[in-house]
Structure 1
Amino acid sequence: MNRKTLVLPAVIGLLAPVLAACGGSDGGGNDDKPIVVGTTDRFAVTKQVPAPFDPAYAYDVGSWNLMRQTVQGLMRVPRGGGEPEPDAAEKCGFTDSGNERYECTLREGLTFADGTPITSSDVKFSLARVLSLKAETAIRGLFTNIDTMETPSKRKVVFHLKSADATFPYKLATPNAGLVSSKQYSAKKFRKGFQLDGSGPYTVDMQSKGGELTKAVYTKNPKYKGSIELQNNKAEVRPFASSAAMTAKLKSGEVDVLGRTITPAEVKSMSENPPKHVSLVESPGLEISYVAFNTESGQASDKAVRQAMAQLIDRGEIASKAYGTAAEPLYSIVPATITGHTNPFFNVYGDPSTEKARTILGKANITTPVKLDLTYTTDHYGTQTKKQFEVLSKQLNDSGLFDVTIKGKPWDTFRGEELKRKYDVYGMGWFPDFADPDSFIAPFLDKENILNTPYDNEEIRSKLIPQSRSEADRLSATPSIEDIQDIVAKDVPMLPIWQGKTYAAARDDITGVEWVLSSSSVLQLWELGRGVAG
């Protein structure tokens, strides 16, 4: 069976049974042959990235996707999105009217995969590690609002927050809030290498060569207690150097599912000329791409330079030339489909205009052409990243107002240097920690942000972010969210470019493909099953 399926939130529940029927899944997950999932994400242990799978260190979508299968959190976001539900916990909830006291009760008989009982002390230990180890990735920023943690009983843990935070349940659903054992994870240092242990639905055997991961083999954890129902007993994630190499293995049957990242060219090819026994699934995505700035260094430290770039770029051309139909122009740091989204960059700058950009630079007495080095990562957001920044730099240079040189570096080097503020202008991508506007704001603009940016807007940090988090009804947080977006459009500490779609492809004897990647690109291996080819 050859098919291309568009999965939309409004109809996803209706499509799921149809897709499952096409595959003919037996639902039992009794086949011990692993379901092989390909990815173009690379995983290496380097001096810059020593602990890619330690919950107290890792903060990128690729690592998170491998961690989620093995490390269990108190909460988890259901496969179709929505509010988090208990996983390691039996129940959780705010116990006050101000969203400052959050209490969880663990499931009875909960254990790590090695059989060690899990208690509330393990919960406290796990989150205390994240806070105390202070990883340069800034992952602790998700939890710095925790004031104290109490363990009144072996199964109960109470979080006292410094200020109201209605998004706290979502943060407890991230892999960095995953429960780890003090037997395997030190309180004083990161767990280096590829080791990964927890109480999640799978155990994992990570195989590597030359400091780089070659495959991660997941086996059903018989001791798992949680809300996930596994549709298979074994799955394998296998990294590939390119989308083309990954797709070739899918066509030959050596790979069952393609995850991140299928290039636009491969999407187009599979859409127009579907390979035999291969299915392509498309769904709305929350991935965003943007240019970030060191606002205290180089030419880009001048706000007028950043504003002029915002005035010049043609997002539609960048998206179409680099990604085809797989990306759409984005005029805010908060993507469309997220509550509170507006289009402030279009409202402020309108259509691209060289004359308006020239005026901005002229009023600031800036000599043109402005020379800039723009650095991007060659291997973390897909092979089309280079094309994206070639188009963007050409737009800027063709105006005569800029002289931009682009440089590509591998992620293992890029990320470490970016955190040390070695780049004045650089390209980044983002997959949200959870589907809430806070996850597109605080990681970039709050204290201890993921970019280690020097940009500090007091109104955003001290007033608007706390104000938005105090609203349990997220719709009520919209005014604060809109104000933040407006400030960003005027100050331009970051420049949004596009919002992407999510694609997965699979052999048509595989079921659950429509669930394997969420809109936030969360990998859910447990949804995959093996049925009968159509």
Structure 2
Amino acid sequence: MPGAEPGRRRVAALAGAVLVVGSLVAGCSLTGDSPDPTPSGTATPRPFTVMSTDQVRVTDPAAVTDTASAMLTVNVFQRLMSADPGQSALKPDAARDCGFIESPTVYTCTLNEDEFFHNGHPLTSSDVEFSIERAARLDVPGSSATLLSSLRKIETPDPLTVRFVLSRVDTQFGWALASPAASLVDEEVYDADKVQAPDKPIVGSGPFSVTSYAKDEIALQRYPTYVGRNRPSLDAVVYRSVPDSATIEDAMNKGTTDVVWRGLDDAAVTRLSSQAAADGDANTANGFHQSVLTGLRVLQLEWSPTSASRADKGLRQAIALALQGDRTSDSVVPGGVPGHTATFALGGKTTPKVTWNKRIILTLGYDSTEPNGQDIATQVRTRLENTGGLSVRLRPDETGDLTLVDRKAWTATALAWLQPYLAAPLPASAKTVQATENAFRQVPPTDEATANRLLATLQKQTATDLVVLPISQSDEYVYARIGVRLSATSFGPGWQLGLFGLSRG
């Protein structure tokens, strides 16, 4: 039976439209309430500001592949399911409940009542069907859409019920619905066959609505009729992306930012950490409280599936050995994630063997906005060129033969961390990898031993294929101005910054 008809939904929207006033201007999407005017003769107060070097590149959740865009998605859009940061237990969000009720291949969700998008349109099962089918159809490379691979069809017997009929037993399907690509969008605003451009309306149903969007600054305001598990405290937030660490530190000193998330280089972090360590309350000299997120910065090196050099086994082995001395992460699944198995050697003396006759030229892509991105890429290039058989050319903000990735998984599961490898294993390993993944997806949640054995098999295969290489796992830091509270729930399932967890103390 089809979902709610658009005509009926528009009738319902007339009742909900009074909740939110939406309007559009060039390069700007206004999807929430308009702010109160500033009284004549008074200075406009500085908005609550979060600063980072990470730039939001994509505003369509179906196409998100980077950390900052995932952060925006977590705050502006809802998913049927979610999870506490770093936890492996699913929690409902836009859904009241979800589960395998009728059959092990039918995942049924019941939506919350009185859910509305930021533009006042009601959120129904028809929007859910549209959103999930759209993400699976677009299947943007590098997005979390591949997690939906077991979906066969969607049934919507009534406006609040959604049935996901699967092609196989998949106990991990609920996690797919908690990932960015499974975010819910208004079927009357988004194109079913095309990624929404950033200058088009940004319409979700999450804790915050977007009031303006520009390349380096996004203004958000609290959505007053939000229904879900992440109710925000702040009325308005500005997320500002700046060019470098020095700009962030200057803003901290001048008091023009309230929270700093990523972006500070090693020298700045060392200075601030020394100040925090000397202070009994872990506060810095410029008035910020330092929070240490242990082991949350994960760097990996990925081979592009389209690279002509990727098929050379001797080359892959030489590159893995060249990086071993600097490696601090021993698996594609980081330490601390349930199911982690050490599979890559750390340290020691290595002798990469050049098994090819002519010098090979490779490109190395990296994100220039990530902390120390250029320095790390330069170090990787040096290690590779020290083999004597390679010439490596850096490509900032591009994908190369090899790409340095500062990764946050979509959710805190081993399968989410393995996804970049599972999406593009070596052709010779593809059947084995697919069979192992399918077997893992069928394991009941109570059979932890079997699940860990299969995850270990996949991790060992990554160390054989060497197309995704772990480089490092280190701490990440968040700085909140004294008087600003960063709660335990200030993050999404994959430790994306949740603006909904911030408040003034």
TM-score tier by shorter-chain length is 0.7 to 0.9
Change (3 A) 1:399 1:331: same
CA contact (8 A) 2:365 2:401 kept: no
Deviation at 1:126, TM superposition (A): 0.9
Pick one of 75, 94, 104 that aligns with 2:109: 104
Q: Confirm or deny that 1:498 pairs with 2:477.
A: no
**C-alpha distance in 1 between matches for 2:167 and 2:177:** 16
Determine helix, strand or coil for the equivalent of 1:465: helix
The aligned counterpart of 1:512 is 486
Q: Confirm or deny that 1:429 pairs with 2:406.
A: yes
Counting only pairs closer than 5 Å after superposition, residues 237-316 of structure 1 correspond to structure 2 as 237-273=239-275, 274-294=284-304, 297-316=307-326
Q: Confirm or deny that 1:475 pairs with 2:448.
A: yes
Deviation at 1:507, TM superposition (A): 0.8
Determine helix, strand or coil for the equivalent of 1:394: helix
Amino acid at match of 2:172: T
Change (3 A) 1:143 1:249: same
**C-alpha distance in 2 between matches for 1:33 and 1:295:** 46
The higher relative CO (CA closer than 8 Å, separation ≥ 6) is in 1
CA contact (8 A) 2:385 2:392 kept: no
Deviation at 1:508, TM superposition (A): 0.6
Counting only pairs closer than 5 Å after superposition, residues 61-140 of structure 1 correspond to structure 2 as 61-79=67-85, 81-95=87-101, 98=104, 100-140=105-145
CA contact (8 A) 1:295 1:455 kept: no
Deviation at 1:105, TM superposition (A): 0.4
The aligned counterpart of 1:7 is none
Change (3 A) 1:181 1:97: closer
Single out whichever of 373-382 and 331-340 deviates more from structure 2.
373-382
Counting only pairs closer than 5 Å after superposition, residues 140-151 of structure 1 correspond to structure 2 as 140-151=145-156
CA contact (8 A) 2:81 2:90 kept: yes
Amino acid at match of 1:37: V
Pick one of 376, 387, 407 that aligns with 1:388: 376
CA contact (8 A) 1:121 1:151 kept: yes
Amino acid at match of 1:376: G
Single out whichever of 257-266 and 390-399 deviates more from structure 2.
390-399
Deviation at 1:149, TM superposition (A): 0.6
Q: Confirm or deny that 1:206 pairs with 2:217.
A: no
Counting only pairs closer than 5 Å after superposition, residues 267-416 of structure 1 correspond to structure 2 as 267-273=269-275, 274-294=284-304, 297-316=307-326, 329-346=328-345, 351-354=348-351, 357-358=352-353, 361=354, 365-367=355-357, 370-382=359-371, 384-400=372-388, 402-410=389-397, 414=398
**C-alpha distance in 2 between matches for 1:371 and 1:82:** 43
Per-residue deviation, residues 323-356 of structure 1 (Å, max 9, x unmatched):
xxxxxx112111101122222221xx872311xx
CA contact (8 A) 1:311 1:352 kept: no
Pick one of 457, 463, 468 that aligns with 2:435: 463
CA contact (8 A) 1:334 1:485 kept: yes
CA contact (8 A) 1:67 1:196 kept: no
The aligned counterpart of 1:3 is none
CA contact (8 A) 1:203 1:221 kept: yes
Determine helix, strand or coil for the equivalent of 1:313: helix
The aligned counterpart of 2:40 is none
Single out whichever of 130-139 and 181-190 deviates more from structure 2.
130-139
CA contact (8 A) 2:62 2:143 kept: no
Q: Point out where structure 2 has 5 or more consecutive residues left out of the alignment.
A: 1-44, 276-283
Deviation at 1:496, TM superposition (A): 1.4
Per-residue deviation, residues 73-125 of structure 1 (Å, max 9, x unmatched):
11121246341211111111122564x22111011121212222221111101
Determine helix, strand or coil for the equivalent of 1:301: coil
Deviation at 1:489, TM superposition (A): 1.1
Determine helix, strand or coil for the equivalent of 1:441: helix
Determine helix, strand or coil for the equivalent of 1:342: coil
**C-alpha distance in 1 between matches for 2:143 and 2:274:** 43
**C-alpha distance in 1 between matches for 2:164 and 2:409:** 23
Change (3 A) 1:506 1:132: same
CA contact (8 A) 1:279 1:506 kept: yes
Per-residue deviation, residues 373-393 of structure 1 (Å, max 9, x unmatched):
2412242433x1222232233
The aligned counterpart of 2:8 is none
The aligned counterpart of 2:461 is 487
**C-alpha distance in 2 between matches for 1:515 and 1:265:** 29
Q: Confirm or deny that 1:215 pairs with 2:183.
A: no
**C-alpha distance in 1 between matches for 2:485 and 2:84:** 18
**C-alpha distance in 2 between matches for 1:381 and 1:469:** 33
Amino acid at match of 1:177: A
Deviation at 1:297, TM superposition (A): 4.5
TM-score (norm 2): 0.83
**C-alpha distance in 2 between matches for 1:516 and 1:139:** 22
Deviation at 1:424, TM superposition (A): 2.7
CA contact (8 A) 2:139 2:146 kept: no
CA contact (8 A) 1:390 1:406 kept: no
Per-residue deviation, residues 288-312 of structure 1 (Å, max 9, x unmatched):
2222224674444211121122223
Determine helix, strand or coil for the equivalent of 1:157: strand
Change (3 A) 1:141 1:110: same
**C-alpha distance in 1 between matches for 2:245 and 2:410:** 25
Q: Confirm or deny that 1:191 pairs with 2:196.
A: yes
Change (3 A) 1:516 1:269: farther
Change (3 A) 1:270 1:392: same
- In the comparison of the two structures, how many residue pairs are matched? 452
**C-alpha distance in 2 between matches for 1:141 and 1:279:** 39
TM-score (norm 1): 0.78
Per-residue deviation, residues 11-45 of structure 1 (Å, max 9, x unmatched):
xxxxxxxxxxxxxxxxxxxxx9642100111245x
Change (3 A) 1:35 1:80: farther
**C-alpha distance in 2 between matches for 1:57 and 1:120:** 22
CA contact (8 A) 2:344 2:463 kept: yes
**C-alpha distance in 1 between matches for 2:287 and 2:306:** 54
Percentage identity across aligned positions? 26
CA contact (8 A) 1:217 1:234 kept: yes
The aligned counterpart of 2:170 is 165
Determine helix, strand or coil for the equivalent of 2:61: coil
**C-alpha distance in 2 between matches for 1:490 and 1:102:** 35
The aligned counterpart of 1:48 is none
Change (3 A) 1:86 1:218: same
Determine helix, strand or coil for the equivalent of 2:190: coil
Change (3 A) 1:54 1:454: farther
